[in-house]
Amino acid sequence: MDELSSQDRVFESAAELFALLATPVRLKIISAVCQQEKNVSELLALIATTQPNMSQHLATLYRRGVLAKRREGTQIYYSLQSERVGALCRAVCTQVAIDFDEETPADSNDRLLRQRVIG
């Protein structure tokens, strides 16, 4: 098996990161803890999902190094561990919001490319 080139490793790593972030609930969790740590109850108040589903996403993000956690009594508080992931999420979500906001004029270079249907 050939060793992956440096560029291939970058693309592989980026694809893994995008796969991790390809779930709206995970993006919402990251957004919710971006500024301040939150416990599961606080996250459930902000994000419409079940407690088991929330716990599964939190565990995945924690295992992958995106979130940090600390225990205080019976509560577990989650915070953003990876500033790189936080910055990426902010950049992508901001661009998508610009693309959806029809009232805010934006230079075409600032908008995400939209797939055009030919025919």
Q: Is a pLDDT exceeding 50 seen at residue 113?
A: no
Let me know if residue 1 belongs to a domain: no
Kindly state the helix (H) or strand (E) to which residue 44 belongs, with its residue range. Answer: helix 40-46
Range of the domain at 92: 6-110
90: domain CATH number is 1.10.10.10
Q: Is 25 exposed, middle or buried (0-12, 13-18, 19+ CB in 10 A)?
A: middle
In this predicted model, what pLDDT tens digit does every residue of 32-81 receive, in sequence order?
Answer: 999 899 999 999 999 999 999 999 999 999 999 999 999 999 999 999 99
Let me know if residue 117 belongs to a domain: no
CA gyration radius, the chain? 17
Q: How confident is the model at residue 90 (pLDDT cuts 50, 70, 90)?
A: confident
Rounded to an integer, the average pLDDT of 104-109 is: 54
Whether 61 contacts 29, CB under 8 Å = yes
Q: How many other C-beta atoms can be found within 10 angstroms of the C-beta atom of residue 79?
A: 14
